[in-house]
A and B are shown apart, each in its own frame.
Chain A
């Protein structure tokens, strides 16, 4: 595996392999000293053109726990903010000796464009509304951990919110369906993509109708600028129809789980404090982020090295 740019490209075998590798990483993270020398001498550069807290920190932590060197590129203080000299930037950093780029960019397709300009591996940490494959790996791993099942056969996963602008939704739909889940998308028609008839999903505009049958309720963040763009009239109205309320939580199956990729918009899609949701997996999603990203880095960069030894 050279790059991780989309779940589609990864394929089911790659997905399952990375989830299994994540188990090893989770074990390392349980140790008193959670560090191994597996990627000693390797360099990972973070190239974040968009703000990020958890993804960036979890990648950097993951790299360090595998003893890789990290390089961070601060876009806000550089001249690269229009994409013009992206090729030069990538070439320059490549010349310094980099084995992998972790890339986040507001524009769709940047990880593929960059991979033409460098010999390093590319890890997509989010490109526009297109893909966020490591989030999907985190979410699959978290569901497996919570349900103690390898396969998602027959599992009803409901994804609620702004599907149209969500890279998390696009990656998760591919990953969940590869593992056998049945997926329902819940959103107002304005927040669904123009044509999803070829996606392995059902769609509905009625959240209350699908709450009782959902095994996983996956809430997406709604950005406030969607109002000015005419996608929803008011956040209050959205929240009323598509937000997670105490009342809705009460109607979930006892065994159902609630997830959210963060950052949350409290009072919008989350009308309830997540700590009040009994089966919330939101903290597990964050916690598993480091293990999953260690697995990805090891898979892409660790050829020939083992996970043994102490750093």
Chain B
């Protein structure tokens, strides 16, 4: 791919401002950003936003172990279609990402697919059992910057303290799935009036908030940096807001579904709406939105969690939690109508690149000399999701029948188009 590519007619959104400009790419790099450029391959971007490719902090790619649900290749393709050029792969694979061998395997599979940068996260504890620390120094040496036991939180406060102390020495970030397990045994949905009616065990907000509070205080005494995964409640946002005001090295993400969907959907008895943390109330959505607008929340991350159809055809209590997110994230977030485009780009590209520790290659400005990891999206296009046509191997999207707004048109990864006009190129 030595031909020059020009992205024509779009609006470039950069950290230092917006501009109508064409973007010329050669040999994997942006070489020129100016008006009226031409190149051997022209890509139309009229009416579109041109910005750095999205970075997802939270993707379950299921390989190795559950290739029936997703593979690194199919997940990467779903990511590319969603405008992503980098995905942080969650470690709850089988075997889990707690050894250099598995980390290398995941990264290599990502390279083989060649659609996005697959950035493996590492486990905090061996096999995510919450008992002994994973070899974090070895994993850090193998390139891991973000450690998490996602799927579960580290329950043992003493072990979490040690993990933070150890992480500080390595200069890596721990990411917590905040859930006090004793409070969510058998839980299916948010503890609310709807769960009262359905007779389902409730998933109280306090189960999340207690661990958010605990970890903020552990960060305060250890000085290690900490990222909070998929926050879902009003009080969690308030706790993080106060911690940031105290200057603690804390970042936080929310998912598109926690901004768009509410607990009442469970009264359809459809396990596609079962997710961890659970869908909460409209009041929680207001608080999460306010948290985004005032900078308390740093990133929007998908928690893309594919499950095969038969798993989501089980009963509400038996079905595994999780929903697809990569291909719909932008459309769901923009459909909320609460955020400026520049804000969305910060939440989906610039900030997560920083949290993932990949600022050399991702979340960069669109400027000469920069790596050509680029997302071009139409911010106004209305569209509907057809689960049969998703690139993901699974179909557990909760957005059937929803009108989404904003769709990725082109994605360029390392100078090569992975998506053109909404079509995956390989």
Q: Do B315 and A108 touch (CB < 8 A)?
A: yes
**What are the residues of chain B within 8 A of A167 when measuring CB–CB?**
199
A109:B269 contact, CB within 8 angstroms: yes
Q: Which of A129, A170, A195 contacts B193 (CB 8 A)?
A: A195
Contact: B193 with A108, CB < 8 Å? no
A247: interface (CB < 8 Å): no
Q: How far is the CB of A8 from chain B (nearest CB, A)?
A: 9
> Is there contact, CB below 8 Å, between B318 and A130?
no
Q: CA of A191 to CA of B316 in the docked complex: distance in angstroms? A: 22
Asked whether A179 is an interface residue with its Cβ less than 8 Å from the other chain, the reply is no
Docked-complex contact B315 and A113, CB < 8 angstroms: yes
Asked if B112 is an interface residue, CB under 8 A from chain A, the answer is no
A53 to B202: give the CA distance in the assembly, Å: 30
Q: In this assembly, does A77 line the interface, its C-beta being within 8 Å of a C-beta of chain B?
A: no
Interface residues in B267-316 by Cβ distance below 8 A to A read 268-270, 310, 313-316
List B residues 136-189 near A (Cβ within 8 Å). Answer: 188
A64 contacts chain B at the CB level, 8 A cutoff: no
Which residues on the B side are within 8 Å of A193 (C-beta)?
195-196, 199
A96 within 8 Å of B (CB atoms): no
Cα of A167 to Cα of B188 in the assembled complex, Å = 17
Among B192, B317, B318, which residue has its beta carbon within 8 angstroms of that of A194? B192
- In the bound complex, do residue A107 and residue B193 qualify as a contact, i.e. CB atoms below 8 Å apart? no
Contact in complex: B198, A109 (CB < 8 Å): yes
Cβ–Cβ < 8 Å partners of B192 in chain A: 194-195
In the assembled complex, B22 has its CB within 8 A of some CB on chain A:
no
- The answer to whether B199 touches A129 (Cβ under 8 A) is yes
Quote the shortest CB–CB distance from B323 to chain A (angstroms).
17
Known: A112-B269, A193-B196, A194-B192. A107 touches B202 (CB 8 A): no
Known: A112-B269, A113-B315. A130 touches B199 (CB 8 A): yes
Query: Contact between A107 and B196 (Cβ–Cβ < 8 Å)?
Result: no
Stretch in contact with the other chain, from A11-19, A83-91, A265-273: A83-91
B191 within 8 Å of A (CB atoms): yes
**B197 at interface (Cβ–Cβ under 8 A)?**
yes
* Interface 0/1 of A185-225, CB less than 8 Å to B: 00000000111111100000000000000000000000000
Cα A276 to Cα B204 in complex, Å, equals 43
Q: Does B37 contact A (CB under 8 A)?
A: no
Beta-carbon nearest neighbor of A129 in chain B: B199
| Residue B200 interfacial (CB < 8 Å) | yes
Shortest C-beta distance, B11 to chain A (Å), equals 45
Q: How far is the CB of B306 from chain A (nearest CB, A)?
A: 18
Q: Mark A102-130, 1 if CB is under 8 A from B, else 0.
A: 00011111101100000000000000111
Given contacts A87-B313, A113-B313, A197-B193, contact A82 B199 (CB under 8 A): no
Q: Are B317 and A107 in contact (CB under 8 A)?
A: yes
Q: Cβ of A194 and Cβ of B191 under 8 Å apart?
A: yes
Q: Which residue of A lies closest to B200 (CB)?
A: A108
Please determine whether B198 and A130 come into contact, CB atoms closer than 8 angstroms. yes
**A86 adjacent to B314 (CB under 8 Å):** yes
In the bound complex, CA of A97 to CA of B44 (Å): 57
Q: How far is the CA of A197 from the CA of B197 in the complex (A)?
A: 11
Closest to A113 in B: B269
B269 near A198 with CB under 8 A, answer no
Question: Known: A112-B269, A194-B191. Is A107-B316 also a contact (CB below 8 A)?
Answer: yes
Counting from the closest, the 5 A-B pairs by CB-CB distance are A129-B199, A109-B269, A107-B315, A193-B196, A130-B199
Q: Which residues of B contact A (CB under 8 A)?
A: 188, 191-193, 195-200, 202, 204, 268-270, 310, 313-318
Q: Which residues of A contact B (CB under 8 A)?
A: 82-84, 86-87, 105-110, 112-113, 128-131, 165-167, 170, 193-199
